């Protein structure tokens, strides 16, 4: 995998260095626990998605190394340049976000209100708001997935609060669908060469991505 693809796929500055230090046996190299808020407008349509992605301890330690001393936490100000790089580079990958209204993909505008912060648990969380270019209705169901097509970054929705609705019309509901886990035979195929040889446009990550289904009356 080329350094350009690694950086683009992970959309995080210096992530190529992390991939070099990480075990090279198989994907993924970075693990993320995701939360999402779907923001509704006054007319009852979805206008934005607020993301919160918490990275694994290895990546978090790498990002914050040298920024503080002792038990001090890195500040949003210290991490601001990296946050900006994140959201800018993620554009090529549609911010790892797929939204569909009545089965039709929605388009997103550039993220706003983005930040990186280190929590008391020493894990780093990227937060950003992704506006929809055109507000979408959930009357015929709105589907949301968050995943890296190359599976370099493994996303998993938070168990307790994966997707929440902000200002929805009365009667809206959310259901989560999880794919079947990979079997032993499938897992053994996930070598670096497998991913390096994926054809352009391959969407392997979609096979392992959970899906949130939001429906409003």
pLDDT (average), residues 119-130: 96
pLDDT digits (tens, 9 = 90+) for 177-205: 998 665 444 544 555 444 455 444 456 67
3-state secondary structure of 122: coil
**Angstrom distance (rounded) from CA 47 to CA 175:** 19
Judged against a pLDDT cut of 60, whether residue 214 lies above it is answered with yes
**The pLDDT value given to residue 21:** 40
> Of 41-55, 152-166, 202-216, where does mean pLDDT reach its minimum?
202-216
Number of helices (H), then strands (E), belonging to the chain: the values are 6, 11
pLDDT digits (tens, 9 = 90+) for 161-171: 999 999 999 99
Do 217 and 139 contact (CB within 8 A), yes or no?
yes
Residue 157's nearest CA partner among 174, 178, 141 is 178
> Of 40-54, 61-75, 141-155, 188-202, where does mean pLDDT reach its minimum?
188-202
**The pLDDT value given to residue 204:** 64
Every domain of the chain and the residues it spans: 3-215
Give how far the C-alpha of residue 114 lies from the chain's centroid of Cα atoms, to the nearest Å.
13
Q: At what angle do helices 57-64 and 76-89 cross, to 10 degrees?
A: 120
Q: Containing H/E element for 217?
A: none
Do 56 and 32 contact (CB within 8 A), yes or no?
yes
**Mean pLDDT, the chain, integer:** 82
Q: Containing H/E element for 140?
A: none
Judged against a pLDDT cut of 50, whether residue 174 lies above it is answered with yes
pLDDT digits (tens, 9 = 90+) for 71-123: 899 999 999 999 999 899 899 899 999 999 999 999 999 999 999 999 999 99
Q: Where do we find the tokens 């780093």?
A: 124
pTM: 0.81
Radius of gyration of the chain (CA): 18
């Amino acid at each position: 995998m080329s350094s350009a693809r690694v950086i683009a796929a992970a959309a995080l500055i210096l992530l190529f260095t992390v991939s070099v230090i990480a075990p090279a046996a198989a994907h993924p190299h970075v693990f993320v626990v995701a939360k999402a808020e779907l923001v509704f407008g006054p007319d009852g349509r979805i206008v934005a998605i607020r993301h919160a992605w918490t990275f694994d301890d290895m990546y978090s330690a790498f990002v914050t190394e040298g920024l503080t001393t002792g038990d001090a936490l890195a500040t949003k100000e210290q991490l601001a340049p990296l946050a900006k790089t994140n959201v800018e580079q993620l554009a090529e990958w549609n911010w790892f976000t797929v939204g569909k209204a009545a089965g039709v993909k929605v388009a997103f505008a550039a993220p706003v209100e983005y930040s990186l912060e280190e929590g008391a648990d020493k894990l780093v969380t990227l937060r950003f708001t992704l506006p929809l270019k055109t507000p979408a209705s959930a009357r015929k169901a709105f589907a949301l997935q968050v995943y890296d097509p190359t599976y370099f970054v493994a996303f998993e929705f938070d168990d307790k609060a994966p997707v929440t609705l902000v200002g929805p019309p009365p009667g809206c509901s959310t259901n989560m669908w999880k794919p079947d886990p990979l079997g032993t035979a499938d897992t053994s195929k996930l070598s670096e060469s497998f991913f390096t040889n994926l054809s352009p446009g391959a969407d392997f990550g979609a096979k392992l991505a959970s899906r949130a289904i939001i429906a409003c009356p």
